[in-house]
Structure 1
């Protein structure tokens, strides 16, 4: 279905919410998340219009989003730092303070560690799915998850050990 613009519009409409949620969890920045989703959808559209369209466009879009995020983090100047403020989120959260604390701590991790934790624990992806999306082996995802969780616990401090285990490693 190369060149099916209406099909792409339907796809983009149905998956952009999930892509934005993932992008926001990765970046912690509303505007940057919007930019990443826009860039991702542009890349997916280019693949969509080719003859060899991806078999699973949603998985292709998630992988493209994560790789775009990691690439963006690499390109950022060394003078830029993540902000300490987190945008307001919609209601329905049971423990807002814990979520804000976790997002702040995630912002201090490097891009790949953050991507692994977001995909594994917030997006509830399997080790194999995470490995495929990040271009890593399953063993690398497991060891990176283990080390990233240790770094996250170190950033949160010893008082946050129990909430971190119940809130992040669900």
Structure 2
């Protein structure tokens, strides 16, 4: 039996430390835990192959970029399927006119995979615009405009419906 490479311990430590975070990002982009698991497994396989050549300060960027690009490939293969992989379960308003609740993942499903990635990296991973730009290989201005556009769409979808009942004024 051969010896394990010296760098493999660092790789294993990185895997343990970052797997959950990368899974969360992949899930936000794909809307499916099994698909997210596949994307992260693909990314960690590539990370293992290239680990000895990756600069220590660039590991996070490389790992995120690899996960996000795996997500993009998977989303493209899945075509125009709904990102959640399930039909939304909408409650029927009760007699008191209760509002329907929309799940955040259902709202994210309305965004393109690239916009979901921008939102996930900016707000789940709490990355600055410059780092998101590096991960996605986009200009910073594009990251800012995609973020604004995605947040506008999410706001429209997630905002509570405006009702006119009870807002009539007697003059």
| TM bucket, shorter chain | 0.7 to 0.9
The alpha-carbon deviation at position 27 of structure 1 amounts to 1.9
Quote the residue 2:149 is aligned against. 147
Quote the residue 1:138 is aligned against. 140
Give the structure with the higher percent helix: 1
> Moved runs in structure 1, 4+ residues, more than 4 A?
none
Alignment coverage as a number of residue pairs: 145
Please show how residues 16-27 of structure 1 align to structure 2 within 5 Å. Answer: 16-27=19-30
List gaps (5 residues or longer) in structure 1: 87-96, 161-170
Q: CA separation in 2, counterparts of 1:84 and 1:108?
A: 14
Deviation string 1:101-144 (CA, Å, 9 cap, x unpaired) is: 22210012110111111111222111111111111001001111
| 8 A contact 1:84–1:104 mirrored in 2 | no
List gaps (5 residues or longer) in structure 2: 89-99, 163-171
Q: CA separation in 1, counterparts of 2:159 and 2:21?
A: 31
- Say which one has the larger Rg: 2
TM-score by length of 1: 0.74
SS in 2 for 1:159: coil
The alpha-carbon deviation at position 58 of structure 1 amounts to 2.2
RMSD: 2.4
| 2:161 maps to 1:159 | yes
Question: Which of 89, 95, 113 is equivalent to 2:115?
Answer: 113
